[in-house]
């Protein structure tokens, strides 16, 4: 694994690449009928995403979740990109075939294409969905598969994964025994919920780590909990780039995952009185107190955080102790 943030320029370059990727994907999802070679564009964004993850998975997750919380690009696109990254990591863990992996990740990128504008609207809407909105929500999976077919997508597994990703499978089979479309749809469904859970926003309070774990694992109970448990293990309840409350009332940002799902390395950025700590204090929660008690939305942090400084400090710390196995990288 290569630690790659050694200067502010490195940070700005990487953040810019993620931002450009998200912006390009957003244009494609918002105006699919205007795109030339839609399928090739999706392939291109998938390869771009893989390249950014492969450089350093923790840094990629850090930048992705920072971008998702702050980007002016719509929620629907940022959510699709987060889901695609999580599906990519899950595909490695589950040792999916290349065809299954491609179908799953590309389904994640396009699963809400029939309700992109509506999903953006719902992300900021305080009132309950209207009857018309509810209908669109209920039919978006089937409508999306039809739309993609008209855009030239002929990969049946990709289309079926989207069509099925909100349908409950009550076969009782273990995950590995499900037919490929149902298996991928179930993975995507759990990832979809998980991505929403670990991206707390202004209209939704963050949950405690233990509550979040129970939510995702219980929600995956139909197929032996494997997907939920796998996501918690490889990404963590609080992924890199997300803010957390510590049990001594300090606030930290998660820097790197550790071998224990809810004991990541963090940078403490705000004191218990709300004062910014300069430079941030690095802390490995696996070594003891303070511990994480809950997630915080980025909107709750009023101070301007210098993320390039945090990642630089993290790089120096990793260099001192040497590279270690990456929990989510092939």
| pLDDT digits 0-9 by tens, 130-180 | 999 999 999 999 999 999 999 999 999 999 999 999 987 777 788 888 999
What is 8-239's CATH superfamily? Answer: Hypothetical protein af1432 (1.10.3210.10)
Long-range pairs, 310-313, Cβ under 8 A, ≥24:
310/253, 310/255, 310/267, 310/269, 310/280, 311/5, 311/11, 311/59, 311/62, 311/255, 312/5, 312/6, 312/7, 312/8, 312/11, 313/267, 313/279, 313/280, 313/282
| pLDDT digits 0-9 by tens, 62-89 | 998 888 877 667 889 999 999 999 999 9
Q: Mean pLDDT, to the nearest integer, of 260-278?
A: 92
Q: What is the largest CA-CA distance in the chain?
A: 58
Query: Residue 54's pLDDT is what?
Result: 93
pTM: 0.90
Query: Residue 98's pLDDT is what?
Result: 98
Query: Residue 219's pLDDT is what?
Result: 67
pLDDT category, 329, cuts 50, 70, 90? very low
What's the mean pLDDT when you consider all of the chain? 88
Query: Residue 42's pLDDT is what?
Result: 98
Q: Mean pLDDT, to the nearest integer, of 35-51?
A: 96
Reply yes or no on whether the pLDDT at 119 is more than 80: yes
Rounded distance between C-alpha atoms, residue 314 and residue 15, angstroms: 16
**Rounded (5°) CA angle 318-274-74:** 70
Query: Residue 109's pLDDT is what?
Result: 98
What is the share, in percent, of the chain residues with pLDDT greater than 70? 89
Both structure tokens of 168: 């409950």
Query: Residue 238's pLDDT is what?
Result: 84
């Amino acid at each position: 694994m290569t630690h790659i943030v050694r200067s502010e320029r490195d940070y700005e370059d990487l953040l810019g690449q993620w931002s450009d990727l998200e912006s390009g994907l957003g244009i494609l999802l918002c105006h699919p009928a205007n795109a030339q070679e839609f399928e090739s564009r999706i392939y291109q964004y998938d390869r771009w995403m893989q390249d950014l993850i492969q450089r350093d998975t923790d840094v990629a997750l850090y930048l992705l979740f920072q971008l998702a919380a702050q980007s002016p690009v719509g929620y629907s696109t940022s959510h699709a990109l987060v889901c695609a990254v999580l599906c990519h990591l899950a595909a490695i863990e589950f040792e999916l075939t290349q065809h299954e992996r491609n179908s799953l990740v590309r389904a994640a990128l396009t699963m809400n294409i029939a309700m992109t504008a509506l999903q953006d609207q719902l992300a900021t809407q305080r009132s309950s969905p209207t009857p018309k909105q509810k209908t669109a929500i209920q039919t978006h999976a089937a409508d999306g598969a039809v739309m993609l077919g008209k855009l030239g997508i002929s990969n049946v597994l990709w289309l079926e994964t989207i069509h099925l990703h909100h349908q409950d499978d009550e076969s009782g089979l273990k995950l590995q025994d499900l037919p490929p479309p149902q298996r991928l749809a179930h993975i995507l469904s759990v990832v979809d919920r998980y991505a929403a859970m670990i991206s707390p926003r202004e209209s939704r309070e963050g949950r405690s780590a233990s509550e979040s774990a129970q939510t995702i694992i219980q929600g995956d109970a139909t197929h032996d909990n494997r997907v939920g448990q796998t996501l918690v293990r490889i990404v963590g309840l609080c992924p890199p780039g997300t803010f957390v409350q510590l049990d001594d009332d300090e606030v930290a940002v998660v820097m790197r995952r550790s071998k224990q799902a809810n004991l990541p390395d963090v940078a403490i950025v705000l004191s218990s009185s709300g004062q910014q700590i300069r430079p941030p204090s690095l802390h490995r929660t696996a070594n003891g107190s303070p511990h994480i008690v809950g997630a915080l939305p980025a909107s709750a942090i009023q101070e301007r955080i210098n993320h390039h400084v945090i990642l630089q400090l993290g790089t120096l710390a990793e260099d001192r102790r040497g590279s270690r196995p990456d929990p989510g990288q092939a």
